Amino acid sequence: MSDPAWVNSLLMRAVRREPVRRTPVWLMRQAGRYMPDYRELRRKTSFLDLCKNPELAAEVMLTTVERIGVDAAIIFSDLLLILEPMGMRLDFAAGGGPVLGNPIHNAAGVDRLLELETVEPLEFVMEVVRKTRAGLDPALPLIGFAGAPFTLAAYAIEGGSSRDYRLAKTLMYTDTGAWDALMGRLARAVTLYLNAQIDAGAQLVQLFDSWAGCLGPDDYRRYVLPHSRSVIEGLRPGVPAIHFATGNPALLPLLGEAFGKKKRPAVVGVDWRVRLDDAWRAIGYDRAIQGNLDPVVLLTDPPEIRRRVKEILRQAAGRPGHVFNLGHGVLPQTPPENVVALVEAVHELSGR
């Protein structure tokens, strides 16, 4: 029996650090508020309702992939959905970010957080995976994702976005027992959730630690690394994983360490605060790398976008294992034609 077409796709070959005819590219938040069709849909549907409607969520991503020509799809979902069946009240403020109505402030709050023993309450996410996979070009891989334990914990403690992560870090420093209990519970939930996405049809998964950059390396190693490692090591054997964090390039070697000793294709996602070549040297060439155009570059014009793409590709130096992406998600103000120009530039310049 022959392998599925996606097995030897550009993205899957790159994450295995195999030679490719051109650099694969996909974008975080590639289906989102910068797209007119998405904005029109959101005028009729709340964000949470959209995430929980598998038909619409799959359609949003499939339409985007076809329009911009990327080399992979990522499921349309949100990091924080996993917290609802664990007993947290999730909402999205109009025009704002997520709000958790019953934040965790102490050990008693940690005790109230439910263990996620089944993904049944998140079955709508698995249906998004199945419908997206079914509608996607068979030669393109599908990426599943989840928030990393630290980022989920920080949201759960802060109750929403934060500038200084004061409440989360205070609990982390002052009650390590409660902290480790919280992180362990979240790590087990995320492992269960990602494996369910893999079973539903995702070919690889990304662990988003969007807020980990607020930590220094010593704190990351003590309070975060063991839990992120437990998630990655608990994934289905052989399934590639992308580990992404922002804000502190000093953490990059530790993100690589989170893959542990089990053999699986390992990719470290890099933001724009560090040069790609410096980042890869710090991570080690035995890992693939993903990144790392500043999303604000997409607000300029195609010649500047092309120049920046060329520079990142030059830093990658043709070494097998580079997945082109932004250093964070596409900004809502981005002209859609600039996203297409980016993808076309990566395809053309890396294929020469």
Catalytic residue positions, numbered: 29, 33, 42, 78, 155
Return the amino acid letter for 163. R
Output helix, strand, coil percentages for the chain, rounded to the nearest 5.
50, 10, 35
Q: Helix and strand tally (H, E) in the chain?
A: 15, 9
Contact 290, 265 (CB under 8 A): no
- The DSSP call for residue 25 is B
Contacts of 147 (CB under 8 A, 6+ apart): 79, 80, 82, 155, 190, 207, 208, 209, 210
Contact 79, 146 (CB under 8 A): yes
* Alpha-carbon span 20 to 322, nearest angstrom: 10
Q: On the CB side of 159, how many CA atoms lie within 13 Å of its CA? A: 8
Each as own residue / partner, the long-range contacts of residues 105-112 (CB below 8 Å, 24 or more positions apart, any chain) are 105/157, 105/167, 105/171, 106/171, 106/175, 106/178, 107/175, 107/177, 107/178, 107/181, 110/178, 110/181, 110/182, 110/185, 111/181, 112/87
Q: How many CB atoms lie within 10 A of CB 40?
A: 10
Q: On the CB side of 52, how many CA atoms lie within 13 Å of its CA? A: 13
Over the range 298-337, which residues count as b (16 or more CB within 10 Å of their CB) and which as e? beeeeeebbebbeebbebbeeeebbbbbbbbbbeeebebe
